[in-house]
C-alpha cells in the first residue's frame, strides 16, 4: 500500500486506535481523567510545528471550493482542536521565528527582515527564548529544535547559533535550501549541533525522522520540540510520490510516457502551484506519521501547535488573494497565517476562534501549556515582552481576556528590494491601518466588508465610526513605538551609507530610511562622536550578562530615527551613572602600591566558616609576546626595559621561574580561561577569521563559573580577545562565552589599517575606530570599570596588546629617559613622534619602549584602585608566549623564540602579587602551566577549589598554585608540565607541530610532522643546544626520557566516549595540511585527542572525502548527551 494511503486515507482510524482523538472521540473512548491540582500533572509536552510560506488561502479548513491540497492530518487537528482565523505573523520568515521564540516584536529584537550571512542583525544570544526558560529557568523540560533555523550568522555563532541560543539539541538546515546555494530538498547541508554534512534524504522526511527519534529518547521527561519545516518554501520540487494524494499527483508535470516526473524535479511556470500543493500534502503526511509514532500515554500529555511563518508566496498564492498582496507584504495575504492547536491543552474541541492572535503570543502560550505558569511568574520583571497567552481560549474560559489589537512590521535596513514595502500594520477586531514609512503614506481598511483590502478608506471621506477607529489605531501605534528611556551605559555605532542605511535603487542616492527599530532618547548619544564621514545610526545598551554592570540584561536596543537632530534633544531624564574618570596617563617610576601583607594573614584567608570574607577580587593581566628574557626581575645585566611596577610586584609577591604557556597567543588564552589543554578544546594555535576552530561556547570558562555558577563576582574582559570567528559569535564572542562586559579589540591590531594609535574597538559587539594608544585605552577602561563595581567582588581579565607588533614608539611620557634616548630620531636629532613604526635594528628599542609603556600604565591602574579595594585584590601578571624572534635577547637563540616549543617560546613571566600572597618576596621553581591559572583564580576569588565548582565529569588540566602563594609547607606541586603547537589548516608552521613535556630537570620535545624527538637537560643546558638523543644517554637520562615518553602517551591516550557521535568529512584542503614543498596531501597529526575508532563505524563520507574528526555533539547541561563537555576527537 502506498505510504500516502497508509497515512492519509487511514489516518483517522490509526489516530483513533492509539488514542490521539481527544474530545471528538468521547463516544468511543473513555473520558480523560481530570488533572489534579498538583504542579507535576500540569507539565505538558509541547510540539510546535512551523510551516514555511503558507497562508490561510492554502488550507481547506480555512476556505471553500476546489483545488485545495489533501491534508487529512491538519483537517483532523482542526476538527479536534481550535482553529484561529485571525492569527498574524510578519511578512517574512526570520522575524516571525524571532517573535515566536522571544515573545517580542522585531523592533525590540532587531529582527525585522530576513537574516542572511551578510546582515548586520541576527537573533541576539542575550534574548531569553523558550528553551532557555524551560531548561534553565524552570528546569522542567528537555528542549530541542529540528528543522530550519534562519536566525543566524557570524553575529550569533553561525551554525552553532541554535545551541548558543538555548537549544541543547539542534539538527536541521541553517537557512533556505535554495539552488543558488547548491541545495535542494533532496540534497542539502544538514547541521547537527554545529557540525554540517550533506544529506540526501527528502528534508521534510528527514526532519520527521529526527523528531520521532528524539521524542522517543525522552522517556518520561517533559519536553518541548520546535519542529520548523523547510516545506513548502521554494524550491518547488516534486516530493516522494508516496507522500502525495492521487488527485494532486495527476496534476504534476508528466514525462514522455505520461507518468509523473520523478521526485526531486524542480517545477517551473504554472507547474509551480501544483508542486507547492504536493509539498503541502507531503508535509501533512509526515506530520501524521510523526503523531502516529508518539505513544498514546505521551500523546495524552502533549499539545501540538501548527502555525505558518508568513503568507503564501506570490507565485503560488490563491484567489481571492493577489500576488501583489502575498508574502513580503503587510496585507492579509502576507501576514494572516494558519494557527491550529490540538491535543492535551484543548478543552471543548472542534472550535473556531475569531480572537486576534500574534505569533509573539506563542511564547507565553507554549510556556503556560508546558509549565502551568504564566510568564510573569518566571520572567524578570524588566523584560519588555509582547506576548499574551491564548491558553484561556484553548480552555474555553468564559469571557477570557483577548487582544484588542495585533501588530506586525517589515523592515530591513540593508536590503533595497523591499524598501517600498517598509512599514508597520496594526488592526483591531474590524479595522486595519498600514503605515508605509518609506513612502510616507497610510492605508486603512474595513476587514469585515473588505477582507481582501481593495478599498482604502483614506481615499474618501470616512464616517464617524471609521474616523474613530483610524484615530484609535494611530494612537495605539504611536504608543507602541514610542521612544523609551534607557538606564544603563550606552555605546553608539558609526556607519557610512553602504552599510547601515539603504541606497535608492533608482537614483543611487543614499537615503536615511526608518530602520524599524525603536527610537532612542537622543541625549544618550550626546557624549559620542563618529569619525569624519560617518554618523551615529544606532545607540544601544551593551548589556549582555545577568549581573550588575548594566542595570538589566535585556535593555532595549535603540535606533536614532531621522528628523531628530541632537541639537533638539530634550533634557536628560535617565543617564547612566557618572563614573569617575580614569587618572591621566603618565610616567610611573615608583607607583604608589600598598605593600603586600607580611606576617599578618591577608583579608579573606581567615579560616572562619563564613564564605563572604573569602571572596577576593582578581586582576589577571596578560601581556602579549613577552618571555622571561625581557624582564630585569628574571635576569642579570644591562639593557632591560625599566619596569618599576613589575619589579615592585615581584619584590612584594611571588615570582615563578618555570611557568609554561603555549608557543602561540590564542592557545594560551584558551588554556587560561578553560583550564584545559588545547587538544581537548581544539584551540592549539592562533585563531583567525578563516579557521575551522574557535573557543567553543560550550567550554566552561572563568567568568561563567563566577557569575552563573557561584553568582559571586562581576566579571569583564578588557583588551584583546583573539579566540573568535564565525564559529562562536564573531565580535559578540566574548559576551557569548560568558563575559558580561567586553571592551577591546577582536584580534591583533596589525591588519585593516590598524595600529596602536588607530584601531577597531569593540564594546559588547558594536565596533568603531578609536585613536587612543591601545595600552592607555585599555587601562582607562579597566580603571573605570573597577571604579564602577563598588563593593561587589570582581574578576577582570586585562589582556593588553603590548608589546606585540606593530612595534611603534609609544607616547614619550610612558618611556624612561634611558630608553627614550635609544629610539630613532629625525634629521634634526629629535625623537620620532609617538606612533612611528620601527624597522630593522630599531625594532628591539621600540619593543623595549612598549614594555615600559605597558609597565607604566599597569602602575597607573594599580594606583587608581582605592586602598580598601586593593587590600582584597590579587594581581596576576603573565605572558602569553615567548619573545618574538626579531627582538629576542641572548642567550636565547632567535630560532628558539615565539612559535616554537623551546624555552624561548614557552617559558613566560608569571608574577602574583596582593591579597592572595603570604610571606612575599619569594621566588618559586615550581612547575606551572597556564592551565593552572583557571583553578588558581577560582580559588583566590571564592575560597573554593575547582573541584567544588565544576561538574565531576569535566576533564580539566588545572592545578591551583594557591598553596604556593600561601607558602604552605610541602605544598603538592606538579611533577610535569605540558604544551603543544598544532594548526591543522596552516602549513606555515607545520614543521614545528608537536608536543613538549618536562619535569623538574629534563624536557622532551616531540615534533610530530618531522617524526623526531629532542631531549634536553635544562639544568646543564637551559637554552637547549645539546639534544641528548644524538649520543648514548646515561642511566638517569634514559630513565627520565622513558618516564616523560610514558607520561606523554598517557596524557594523550584515546578516551572512551559514552554519548552520541557525529563525524565530519573533509577533503585535503580543509582539514589536513598540504606540504608546501611538494603540494602533496599529508595526513599529519592534527593535535586533537585520538578517537576510539568504533565510534565512527556507522558513519560514511561522500565520495572523495574521508572522516577526519569524530566528536560528541553535546551542547547543553541536560540529558541528551551524557555530559556537556565530552571530548572532541580526531581519527588518525
* Rounded average pLDDT over 308-322: 90
Q: What was the pLDDT predicted at 638?
A: 63
Task: Pick the more confident residue, 81 or 32.
Answer: 81
Task: Pick the more confident residue, 989 or 346.
Answer: 346
Task: Pick the more confident residue, 889 or 999.
Answer: 999
Shared domain for 166 and 278, answered yes or no, is yes
The C-alpha cell 541639537 sits at: 567
Pick the most confident of 598-607, 938-947, 1084-1093. 938-947
Cβ-in-10-Å burial (0-12, 13-18, 19+) of 92 comes to buried
Of 263-277, 579-593, 747-761, 871-885, give the lowest mean pLDDT range: 579-593
Q: What was the pLDDT predicted at 573?
A: 29
Shared domain for 510 and 619, answered yes or no, is no
Of 240-254, 321-335, 367-381, 556-570, give the lowest mean pLDDT range: 556-570
* Rounded average pLDDT over 931-955: 90
Shared domain for 986 and 1009, answered yes or no, is no
pLDDT tens digit string along 541-554? 333 322 222 222 22
Q: What was the pLDDT predicted at 1052?
A: 79
User: The pTM is what?
Assistant: 0.60
Q: What was the pLDDT predicted at 124?
A: 79
Domain's final residue, options 533, 568, 603:
568
Taking the C-alpha atoms of residue 873 and residue 739, their distance in angstroms, rounded to an integer, is 19
pLDDT tens digit string along 660-674? 999 999 999 999 999
Taking the C-alpha atoms of residue 1063 and residue 1085, their distance in angstroms, rounded to an integer, is 17
Shared domain for 99 and 194, answered yes or no, is yes
Q: What was the pLDDT predicted at 545?
A: 28
Shared domain for 188 and 308, answered yes or no, is yes
Q: What was the pLDDT predicted at 948?
A: 87
**Residue at 234 is within a domain:** yes
Q: Give residue 371's pLDDT band: very low, low, confident or very high (50, 70, 90).
A: very high
Q: Give residue 66's pLDDT band: very low, low, confident or very high (50, 70, 90).
A: low
Element (H, E) at 297: helix 296-299
Taking the C-alpha atoms of residue 127 and residue 152, their distance in angstroms, rounded to an integer, is 13
Q: Give residue 319's pLDDT band: very low, low, confident or very high (50, 70, 90).
A: confident
Q: What was the pLDDT predicted at 303?
A: 98
Q: What was the pLDDT predicted at 47?
A: 98
What integer best gives the mean pLDDT of the chain? 78
Closest by CA to 74, choosing from 311, 339, 334, is 339
pLDDT tens digit string along 615-647? 999 999 999 999 999 999 998 556 799 999 999
* Whole-angstrom Cα Rg for the chain: 32
**Residue at 963 is within a domain:** no
**Is the distance from CB of 292 to CB of 299 less than 8 angstroms?**
no
Shared domain for 893 and 778, answered yes or no, is yes
Task: Pick the more confident residue, 1090 or 424.
Answer: 424
Task: Pick the more confident residue, 868 or 695.
Answer: 868
Q: What was the pLDDT predicted at 1103?
A: 53
pLDDT tens digit string along 205-257? 999 999 999 999 998 889 999 999 999 999 999 999 999 999 999 999 998 88
* Rounded average pLDDT over 41-67: 87
Domain tally, the chain: 6
* pLDDT reading at 200 higher than 80: yes
Q: Give residue 1073's pLDDT band: very low, low, confident or very high (50, 70, 90).
A: very low
Q: What was the pLDDT predicted at 729?
A: 67
Shared domain for 564 and 476, answered yes or no, is no
**Is the distance from CB of 251 to CB of 281 less than 8 angstroms?**
no
Strands 491-495, 535-540: pairing kind = antiparallel
Q: What was the pLDDT predicted at 42?
A: 66
pLDDT tens digit string along 423-475? 899 999 999 999 998 778 899 999 999 999 999 999 999 999 999 999 999 99
259 CB-near residues (< 8 Å, 6+ apart): none
Shared domain for 1010 and 1103, answered yes or no, is no
* pLDDT reading at 97 higher than 80: yes
Of 251-255, 390-394, 734-738, give the lowest mean pLDDT range: 734-738
**Residue at 597 is within a domain:** no
Taking the C-alpha atoms of residue 890 and residue 908, their distance in angstroms, rounded to an integer, is 15
1086 CB-near residues (< 8 Å, 6+ apart): 982, 984, 1071, 1072, 1108, 1109, 1130
Q: What was the pLDDT predicted at 791?
A: 85
Domain's final residue, options 482, 510, 530:
482
* Rounded average pLDDT over 341-366: 96
Shared domain for 936 and 1036, answered yes or no, is no
**Residue at 609 is within a domain:** no
For residue 824, the domain's CATH number is 3.40.720.10
Domain's final residue, options 411, 439, 471:
411
**Residue at 416 is within a domain:** no
Q: What was the pLDDT predicted at 720?
A: 96
**Residue at 879 is within a domain:** no
Three-state DSSP at 682 gives coil
**Residue at 388 is within a domain:** yes
Taking the C-alpha atoms of residue 711 and residue 667, their distance in angstroms, rounded to an integer, is 27
Three-state DSSP at 406 gives strand
Q: What was the pLDDT predicted at 323?
A: 86
Shared domain for 903 and 935, answered yes or no, is yes
Three-state DSSP at 1121 gives coil
* pLDDT reading at 75 higher than 60: yes
Of 55-59, 201-205, 264-268, 1060-1064, give the lowest mean pLDDT range: 1060-1064
Q: What was the pLDDT predicted at 1034?
A: 96
**Is the distance from CB of 358 to CB of 407 less than 8 angstroms?**
yes
Whole-angstrom CA distances from 1045 to 998, 999, 1015, 1021, 1062 are: 10, 11, 10, 20, 31
Shared domain for 638 and 720, answered yes or no, is yes
Give the residue numbers spanning the domain of 618: 614-791+802-870+888-958+976-992
* Rounded average pLDDT over 37-58: 82
Shared domain for 104 and 217, answered yes or no, is yes
537 CB-near residues (< 8 Å, 6+ apart): 493, 494, 495, 500, 501, 515, 559, 560
**Residue at 968 is within a domain:** no
Task: Pick the more confident residue, 61 or 122.
Answer: 61
Task: Pick the more confident residue, 720 or 381.
Answer: 720
For residue 1048, the domain's CATH number is 3.30.1120
Amino acid at each position: 500500500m502506498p505510504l500516502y494511503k497508509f497515512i492519509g486515507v487511514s489516518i483517522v482510524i490509526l489516530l483513533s486506535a492509539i488514542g490521539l482523538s481527544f474530545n471528538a472521540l468521547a463516544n468511543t473512548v473513555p473520558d480523560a481523567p481530570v488533572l489534579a491540582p498538583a504542579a507535576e500533572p500540569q507539565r505538558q509536552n509541547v510540539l510546535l510545528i512551523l510551516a514555511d510560506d503558507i497562508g490561510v488561502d492554502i488550507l481547506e479548513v480555512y476556505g471553500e471550493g476546489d483545488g485545495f491540497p489533501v491534508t487529512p492530518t491538519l483537517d483532523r487537528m482542526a476538527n479536534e482542536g481550535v482553529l484561529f482565523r485571525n492569527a498574524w505573523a510578519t511578512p517574512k520568515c526570520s522575524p516571525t521565528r524571532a517573535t515566536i521564540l522571544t515573545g517580542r516584536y522585531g523592533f525590540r529584537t532587531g529582527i525585522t527582515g530576513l537574516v542572511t550571512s551578510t546582515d548586520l542583525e541576527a537573533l541576539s544570544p542575550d534574548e531569553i527564548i523558550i528553551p532557555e526558560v524551560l531548561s534553565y529557568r524552570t528546569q522542567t523540560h528537555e528542549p530541542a529544535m529540528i528543522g530550519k533555523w534562519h536566525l543566524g550568522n557570524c553575529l550569533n555563532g553561525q551554525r552553532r547559533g541554535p545551541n548558543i541560543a538555548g537549544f541543547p539539541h539542534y539538527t536541521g538546515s541553517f537557512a533556505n535550501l535554495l539552488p543558488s546555494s547548491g541545495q535542494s530538498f533532496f540534497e542539502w547541508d544538514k547541521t547537527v549541533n554545529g557540525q554540517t554534512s550533506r544529506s540526501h534524504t527528502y528534508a521534510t522526511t528527514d526532519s520527521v525522522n529526527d523528531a520521532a527519534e528524539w521524542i522517543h529518547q525522552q522517556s518520561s521527561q517533559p519536553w518541548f520540540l520546535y519542529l520548523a519545516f523547510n516545506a513548502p518554501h521554494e524550491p518547488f520540487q516534486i516530493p516522494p510520490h508516496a507522500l502525495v494524494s492521487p488527485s494532486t499527483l495527476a496534476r504534476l508535470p508528466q514525462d514522455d510516457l505520461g507518468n509523473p516526473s520523478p521526485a526531486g524535479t524542480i517545477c517551473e511556470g504554472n507547474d509551480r502551484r501544483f508542486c507547492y500543493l504536493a509539498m503541502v500534502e507531503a508535509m501533512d503526511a509526515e506530520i501524521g506519521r510523526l503523531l502516529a509514532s508518539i505513544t498514546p500515554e505521551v500523546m495524552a500529555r502533549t499539545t501540538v501547535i501548527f502555525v505558518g511563518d508568513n503568507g503564501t508566496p506570490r507565485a503560488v498564492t490563491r484567489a481571492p488573494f493577489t500576488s501583489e498582496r502575498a508574502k513580503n507584504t503587510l496585507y492579509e495575504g502576507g501576514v494572516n497565517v494558519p494557527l491550529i492547536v490540538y491535543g492535551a491543552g484543548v478543552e471543548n474541541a472542534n472550535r473556531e476562534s475569531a480572537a486576534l492572535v500574534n505569533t509573539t503570543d506563542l511564547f507565553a502560550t507554549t510556556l503556560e501549556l508546558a509549565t502551568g505558569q504564566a510568564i510573569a511568574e518566571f520572567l524578570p520583571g524588566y523584560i519588555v515582552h509582547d506576548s499574551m497567552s491564548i491558553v484561556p481560549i484553548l480552555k474555553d474560559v468564559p469571557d477570557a481576556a483577548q487582544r484588542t489589537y495585533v501588530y506586525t512590521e517589515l523592515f530591513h535596513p540593508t536590503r533595497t528590494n523591499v524598501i517600498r514595502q517598509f512599514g508597520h500594520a496594526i488592526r483591531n477586531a474590524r479595522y486595519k491601518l498600514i503605515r508605509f514609512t518609506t513612502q510616507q503614506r497610510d492605508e486603512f481598511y474595513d476587514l469585515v466588508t473588505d477582507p481582501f483590502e481593495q478599498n482604502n478608506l483614506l481615499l474618501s471621506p470616512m464616517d464617524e465610526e471609521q474616523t474613530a477607529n483610524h484615530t484609535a489605531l494611530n494612537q495605539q501605534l504611536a504608543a507602541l513605538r514610542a521612544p523609551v528611556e534607557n538606564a544603563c551605559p550606552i555605546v553608539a555605532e558609526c556607519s557610512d551609507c553602504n552599510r547601515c542605511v539603504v541606497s535608492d535603487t533608482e537614483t543611487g542616492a543614499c537615503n536615511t530610511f526608518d530602520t524599524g527599530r525603536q527610537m532612542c532618547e537622543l541625549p544618550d548619544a550626546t557624549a559620542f562622536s563618529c569619525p569624519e564621514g560617518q554618523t551615529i545610526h544606532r545607540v544601544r545598551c551593551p548589556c549582555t550578562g545577568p549581573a550588575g554592570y548594566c542595570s538589566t540584561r535585556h535593555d532595549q536596543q535603540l535606533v536614532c530615527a531621522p528628523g531628530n537632530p541632537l541639537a533638539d534633544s530634550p533634557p536628560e531624564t535617565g543617564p547612566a551613572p557618572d563614573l569617575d574618570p580614569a587618572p591621566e596617563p603618565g610616567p610611573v617610576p615608583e607607583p604608589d602600591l600598598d605593600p603586600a601583607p607580611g606576617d599578618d594573614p591577608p583579608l579573606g584567608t581567615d579560616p572562619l566558616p563564613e564564605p563572604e570574607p573569602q571572596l577576593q577580587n582578581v586582576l589577571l593581566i596578560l601581556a602579549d609576546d613577552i618571555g622571561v628574557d625581557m624582564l630585569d626581575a628574571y635576569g642579570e645585566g644591562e639593557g632591560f626595559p625599566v619596569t618599576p611596577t613589575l619589579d615592585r610586584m615581584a619584590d612584594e609577591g611571588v615570582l615563578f621561574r618555570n611557568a609554561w604557556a603555549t608557543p602561540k597567543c590564542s592557545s594560551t588564552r584558551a588554556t587560561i580561561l578553560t583550564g584545559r589543554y588545547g587538544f581537548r578544546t581544539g584551540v592549539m594555535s592562533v585563531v583567525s577569521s578563516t579557521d575551522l576552530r574557535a573557543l567553543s561556547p560550550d567550554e566552561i570558562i572563568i567568568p561563567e563559573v563566577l557569575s552563573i555558577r557561584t553568582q559571586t563576582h562581576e566579571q569583564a574582559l578588557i583588551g584583546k580577545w583573539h579566540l573568535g570567528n564565525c564559529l562562536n559569535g564573531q565580535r559578540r564572542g566574548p559576551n557569548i562565552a560568558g563575559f558580561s562586559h567586553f571592551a577591546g579589540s577582536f584580534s591583533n591590531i596589525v591588519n585593516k589599517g590598524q595600529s596602536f594609535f588607530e584601531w577597531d574597538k569593540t564594546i559588547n559587539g558594536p565596533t568603531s575606530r578609536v585613536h587612543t594608544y591601545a595600552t592607555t585605552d585599555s587601562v582607562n577602561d579597566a580603571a573605570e570599570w573597577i571604579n564602577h563595581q563598588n563593593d561587589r567582588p570582581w574578576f577582570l581579565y586585562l589582556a593588553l596588546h603590548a608589546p606585540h607588533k606593530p612595534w611603534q614608539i609609544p607616547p614619550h611620557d610612558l618611556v624612561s629617559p634611558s630608553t627614550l634616548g635609544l629610539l630613532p630620531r629625525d634629521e634634526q636629532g629629535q625623537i620620532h613622534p609617538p606612533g612611528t613604526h620601527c624597522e630593522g635594528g630599531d625594532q628591539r628599542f621600540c619593543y623595549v619602549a612598549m614594555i615600559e609603556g605597558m609597565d607604566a600604565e599597569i602602575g597607573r591602574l594599580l594606583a587608581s584602585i582605592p586602598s580598601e579595594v586593593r587590600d582584597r585584590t590579587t594581581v596576576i601578571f603573565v605572558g602569553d608566549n615567548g619573545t618574538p624572534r626579531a627582538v629576542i635577547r641572548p642567550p636565547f637563540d632567535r630560532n628558539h623564540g615565539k612559535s616554537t616549543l623551546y624555552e624561548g617560546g614557552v617559558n613566560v613571566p608569571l608574577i602574583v602579587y596582593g591579597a592572595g600572597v603570604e610571606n612575599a618576596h619569594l621566588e618559586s621553581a615550581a612547575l606551572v602551566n597556564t592551565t593552572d591559572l583557571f583553578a588558581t583564580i577560582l580559588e583566590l576569588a571564592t575560597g573554593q577549589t575547582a573541584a567544588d565548582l565544576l561538574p565531576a565529569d569535566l576533564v580539566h588540566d588545572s592545578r591551583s598554585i594557591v598553596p604556593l602563594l600561601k607558602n604552605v609547607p610541602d605544598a603538592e606541586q606538579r611533577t610535569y608540565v605540558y604544551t603543544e603547537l598544532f594548526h591543522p589548516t596552516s602549513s606555515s608552521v607545520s614543521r614545528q607541530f608537536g608536543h613538549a613535556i618536562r619535569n623538574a630537570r629534563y624536557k622532551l620535545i616531540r615534533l610530530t610532522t618531522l617524526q623526531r624527538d629532542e631531549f634536553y637537560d635544562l639544568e646543564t643546558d637551559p637554552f637547549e643546544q645539546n639534544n641528548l638523543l644524538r649520543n648514548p644517554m646515561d642511566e638517569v637520562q634514559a630513565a627520565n626520557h622513558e618516564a616523560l615518553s610514558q607520561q606523554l602517551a598517557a596524557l594523550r591516550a584515546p578516551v572512551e566516549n559514552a554519548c552520541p557521535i557525529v563525524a565530519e568529512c573533509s577533503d585535503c584542503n580543509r582539514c589536513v595540511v598540504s606540504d608546501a614543498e611538494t603540494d602533496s596531501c599529508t595526513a599529519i597529526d592534527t593535535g586533537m585527542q585520538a578517537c576510539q575508532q568504533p565510534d565512527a563505524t556507522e558513519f560514511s563520507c561522500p565520495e572523495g572525502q574521508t572522516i577526519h574528526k569524530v566528536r560528541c555533539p553535546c551542547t547543553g547541561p541536560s540529558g541528551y548527551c551524557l555530559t556537556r563537555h565530552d571530548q572532541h576527537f580526531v581519527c588518525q
